[in-house]
Structure 1
Amino acid sequence: MSESEHRMIEILRILSAQDKPTGSKLIADELKNKGFNLGERAVRYHMQILDEKGYTERMGYSGRQITDLGREKLEKGLIYDQVDFIHSKFEEMIYLTDFNYINQSGNVVVNTSTIYNEESINIMKEIFESGLSVSPYVNIKKVGNRNEIEVTTLCGTTIDGILLNEGIPSQPQYGGLLEIENFHPEKFTELISYKKTSLTPLDAFANSDLTSILDVVNTGTGIIPANFRLIPGIGRQKTLEILEKLNKIGIGGVIDVSHEGEDILGLPVPDGMVGIAIVGGITPFCAIKELGEEIDIKIAEEITDFKTLSPITSTITQTLKPITNNKQPTLPFLLSKSWNLIQQVNFNVEKRKGDIISNVSYVRKDDLDSALAIMEETYNNNPKYINPYYNLIEHPNDDEKIGIATICSLSIDGLLINNGIMSTPKYGGLLELTEPPLFIDLISYNGTTVDPHKIFLSKKMTSITGNIGPNKILASVKEIPYISRDYAVYLLDILNNIGFSIYKIGKPRELVYNAKVDNYNFGVICGGGLNTIGAIKEKGIDVEVKAIEKLLPFEKMDRL
């Protein structure tokens, strides 16, 4: 799916949610809420294409409405393709990069974000001066009549494109969070694979609760966004020479280059390959977020001529020092970390007893009554999609907080496996409750170190308690061999009657709510255990969200 088609799918979703003709201004505003920085003029251009395809029709001066053909297109909205699209998008950007570093001409990959406070430019400048960026080359311009300022910065993908033009295939692997201690890079603490997500990895981590870039600048210790890629070992020396030349003209951000087959910053490097870690191009933007300033961040959004950029500063002091310890333990992905807990589930569906996996999130004791009331109201408003079970647990070291345990959907995999049925958690997703429901984002459990649902909650992407438009809730996709379907359906039906939130049991080769599983398997869609916790968060109560925390006896759970 191209970027343009993805935007048109989102426009169709917006029109489908309306029961009347809709104008381009409202569509542009809704697209902005979904993370698409598209003005009214661009929306009108996309709408003309949709009209020509028969997906929409103009209703006089009132705007457009979706047609039956458009609804059919939307029902096949292809989010499963979007999981592959992110990686393909970066491959496209790498190919289109034709920057010549000798004469400093040609196209580069850029991130263009919007800030709303001119003072934020000073914060960004401080980050550029610290060397925590790919390049100080930027383009800053005011937009429209409002206090909007577009800031275009160089994306690290440009370096991949330059290497490819020199015959060195650079393969983006992960975006993540890198721990810095006393100015020395230590290890990656979180990762998302480019190949297994519909959400750009660094966009997932662009959150003031996750990064501490300003702390790194001021104290030398904190967390920054970073990317990781692989190149063939034979190209290491040539790459080092190219990186040195790039650094002289103001393109850098390289944290370290490993030796052939040598692990780096807690990441494995296969034999015959070399790992390269680079500062995330959005690092200056994330620093603005840390101060609570409003900003819309776009990642690797477009290609532009390098000549449109100019240095924001000529004074750069490299904050980061060399790596001192390269023997860090390898960082495991979420699915690998979860199997031991999944295997310990011994819940008996007939007796309704035994251990399940729980999420334990914490609120202040003063907020507990309000939190439970919100959970109960959320369940009563939508019992089909919300799991009603919870348990209260003391905080291990804070007398003023209390834990709310909810049932993690991995409990379902554990129960099936305990009954001889292989069940593999495939995706954590954000499910929009349209008719039919559709996943609008998916992250593979085998391609992330952090629970996908925690990401969606931290980025405030849910609408579990919302009254405007379709709700967006947390859900997961499981993959089960078709041979065991009859027995699995029997067990899942019992679980659903108990209240475990089983939304859909698919058939072989069927797209279940727009999610795709492998051939000879069928998909099962289950509710996320953090939906009630997300409801608390949406209502403004401070909650420390945790996922996949511990085993608990089901019989000790209370019901809303």
Structure 2
Amino acid sequence: MSESESRIIEILRILAKQEKPIGSKLIADELKEKGFNLGERAVRYHMQILDEKGYTERKGYSGRVITDLGLEKLEKGLIYDQVDFIYSKFEEMIYLTDFLYMEQIGNVVVNTSTVYNEESINIMKEIFKSGLCVSPYVNLNEDKNTGEIEVTTICGTTIDGVLLNNGIASQPQYGGLLKIENNHPMNFTEIISYKKTSVTPLDAFSNSKLTSVLDVITKGTGLIPANFRLIPGIAKEKTLSIINQLENIGIGGVIGISKEGQDLLGLPVPDGMVGIAIVGGITPFCAIKELGEDIDIKLAEEIRNFNTLSPITEIIDSPLKTPSVEKQPKLPFLLSKSWNLIQQVNFDVEKQKGEIIANVSYVNRDKLDSALSIMEDAYNNNPKYINPFYKLIPHPDNDEKVGIATTCSLSIDGILINNGIMSNPKFSGLLELTEPPLFIDLISYNGTTLDPHKIFLSKNMTSITGNKPNKILASVKEIPYVSRDRAVHLLDILNNIGFSIYKIGKPRELVYNSKVDNYNFGVITGGGLNSIGAVKESGIDIEVKAIEKLIPFEKMERL
């Protein structure tokens, strides 16, 4: 991203935080705090550009405000910047936390979500009462006209901010799902790195089909959202003292603290460091989702003064016991798990035979014909975006279900590598079919343990069905420029066969707003689960699986 683009994005971010118009001087002052040495005259020049593009609007002598188009640009425009911005946003929230826990005054980081009925509030109270939360301190703000209730809760990032205020460098690493057995935290089952995603990690897992918070409360076993961070080992005793004092005033949620250099809950802790796991601040909201109630969850959105919050229920100790000390298997990232499958792809481009990687999703046998019909319609309506190949396979232990295997986009990496061309899967994302198409979310293959396309499908983020799809699944691959000519030749052949190749970029080109390293070029391919996403959108219950197995391409059928 150029320096000019960085300035424009930062100006839009500054305006987006304001509730009223502001002028060039205030913008210049805030830019300076963010490391941009830009005077008022230069700010005015940039503002004229933003006005012309429709991203900002002048309000007389008061200054400017961001427009809806500007907000959309900020949200979607530079998605490769958003991948870095998520982590920097948390760093900003940590820095702005100035809560003095001894006096109980100052700012804390909060999540602000919206529920739509009183029943959701009652459910939430029970969750807080169980102790499975960061803090029972909340703020409720009801809109009398709509009945909507805005719920502000304390985010676990507050603890990182308090530690920093006390000279302790806390480094957020991952957000994920933590397995609980008989009230004992066992191990993380899925994680996403804060540094390699445009989707806030816990937001990715805030889905009723992924969490089981209610089961943890009622049965002591299930999956809850949790965060993992590192601190220097020398600061452990001071950190424990602060955590104990925070718990005494109602801010807690700490699940476990490792010994120096010792793995915690299946996650590695480097020598000289200590790992800390904290329950996700959205845990009570996930319980509401599990019951089928509507809720709009927003994470670590803002800073709020602690004195605006009050306990929604009495403070109760967490039901969780001491974490398991048994050594857990290492949790590999998705790309690490996939390389061996990629290595085994032996598809012959000329003969159109050989093994490829397949996703295998399962549907009830009585819904199979309907599912295949939907997949066929999706392909016929949009052959450019939907891969037409599939194969039916038996379910390993349930005769009432049938597997539908579809071509995984990682097959393309395997084919290129088998032909002597290095292809590195870089991002998996959600592509909006504007003109030109733009990625609106990206998650690094090497920053997640769960296939991102499964995440997007579980959160109903796609729009694949119909005559004109709007949001589809796609992936970004990175290929060395030196092999470009031969790679383009092979990719053209694969595209003609029916593999979904959307775009072949040029060196240093932003391809659909995704970015690859220097001396490489990007290739955008269609997600193998797009046809399965069409089935899911149509209301048919389908168990989505990704990157499951190798199957012979010649035995696949075509829609």
Instruction: Report 1:418-497 matches (<5 A).
Output: 418-466=418-466, 471-497=470-496
In structure 1, distance between residues paired with 2:405 and 2:14: 38
| Structure 2 length-normalised TM | 0.88
Residue 511 of structure 1 aligns with an amino acid whose one-letter code is L
What are the superposed Cα offsets for residues 159-210 of structure 1, whole Å, 9 maximum, x if unpaired? Answer: 0000000010101000000000000000000000000000000000000000
Instruction: Report 1:397-408 matches (<5 A).
Output: 397-408=397-408
In structure 2, distance between residues paired with 1:348 and 1:419: 9
What are the superposed Cα offsets for residues 124-149 of structure 1, whole Å, 9 maximum, x if unpaired? Answer: 11111221111110001202501100
Q: Is the 8 A contact 1:262 1:269 kept in 2?
A: yes
Q: Which residue matches 2:164?
A: 164
Q: Which residue matches 1:555?
A: 554
Residue 418 of structure 1 aligns with an amino acid whose one-letter code is N
1:3 shift after superposition: 8.6
Tell me, yes or no, if structure 1 residue 531 matches structure 2 residue 530.
Answer: yes
In structure 1, distance between residues paired with 2:75 and 2:132: 43
Q: Which residue matches 1:38?
A: none
Q: Which residue matches 1:518?
A: 517
- 3-state SS of 2:379 partner: helix
In structure 1, distance between residues paired with 2:334 and 2:175: 15
RMSD: 2.3
- Distance verdict in 2 for CA 1:74–1:142, change over 3 Å: closer
In structure 2, distance between residues paired with 1:71 and 1:313: 37
In structure 1, distance between residues paired with 2:206 and 2:272: 32
The 4+ residue runs of structure 1 with deviation greater than 3 A are 1-9, 49-52, 69-76
Q: Is the 8 A contact 1:170 1:231 kept in 2?
A: yes
Q: Is the 8 A contact 1:364 1:401 kept in 2?
A: yes
Q: Which residue matches 1:361?
A: 361
Identical columns (%): 77
In structure 1, distance between residues paired with 2:90 and 2:361: 36
Q: Is the 8 A contact 1:94 1:158 kept in 2?
A: yes
In structure 2, distance between residues paired with 1:6 and 1:75: 10
- Distance verdict in 2 for CA 1:518–1:161, change over 3 Å: same
Q: Which residue matches 2:63?
A: none
1:54 shift after superposition: 2.1
In structure 2, distance between residues paired with 1:444 and 1:128: 34
Residue 512 of structure 1 aligns with an amino acid whose one-letter code is V
Instruction: Report 1:18-417 matches (<5 A).
Output: 53-56=51-54, 77-417=77-417
1:120 shift after superposition: 1.2
Q: Is the 8 A contact 2:176 2:225 kept in 1?
A: yes
- Distance verdict in 2 for CA 1:341–1:215, change over 3 Å: same
Q: Which residue matches 2:35?
A: none
1:515 shift after superposition: 0.3
In structure 1, distance between residues paired with 2:406 and 2:444: 22
- Distance verdict in 2 for CA 1:438–1:238, change over 3 Å: same
Greater mean alpha carbon deviation, residues 76-85 or residues 408-417: 76-85
- Which runs of 5 or more structure 1 residues have no equivalent in the other structure? 10-48, 60-65
Greater mean alpha carbon deviation, residues 547-556 or residues 127-136: 127-136
1:555 shift after superposition: 0.2
- Distance verdict in 2 for CA 1:441–1:506, change over 3 Å: same
In structure 2, distance between residues paired with 1:82 and 1:99: 28
What are the superposed Cα offsets for residues 11-52 of structure 1, whole Å, 9 maximum, x if unpaired? Answer: xxxxxxxxxxxxxxxxxxxxxxxxxxxxxxxxxxxxxx8997
In structure 2, distance between residues paired with 1:58 and 1:162: 36
- 3-state SS of 1:54 partner: helix
Q: Is the 8 A contact 1:391 1:406 kept in 2?
A: yes
What are the superposed Cα offsets for residues 491-515 of structure 1, whole Å, 9 maximum, x if unpaired? Answer: 1110000010101111111100000
In structure 1, distance between residues paired with 2:367 and 2:88: 45
Residue 297 of structure 1 aligns with an amino acid whose one-letter code is I
- Distance verdict in 2 for CA 1:241–1:499, change over 3 Å: same
In structure 2, distance between residues paired with 1:51 and 1:221: 55
Q: How many residues are treated as equivalent by the alignment?
A: 513
1:55 shift after superposition: 2.3
Q: Is the 8 A contact 1:140 1:150 kept in 2?
A: yes
1:399 shift after superposition: 0.7
- Distance verdict in 2 for CA 1:435–1:361, change over 3 Å: same
- 3-state SS of 2:118 partner: coil
Q: Is the 8 A contact 1:179 1:224 kept in 2?
A: yes
- Which runs of 5 or more structure 2 residues have no equivalent in the other structure? 1-5, 17-46, 58-65
1:72 shift after superposition: 13
- Distance verdict in 2 for CA 1:448–1:312, change over 3 Å: same
| Structure 1 length-normalised TM | 0.88
Q: Is the 8 A contact 1:266 1:326 kept in 2?
A: no
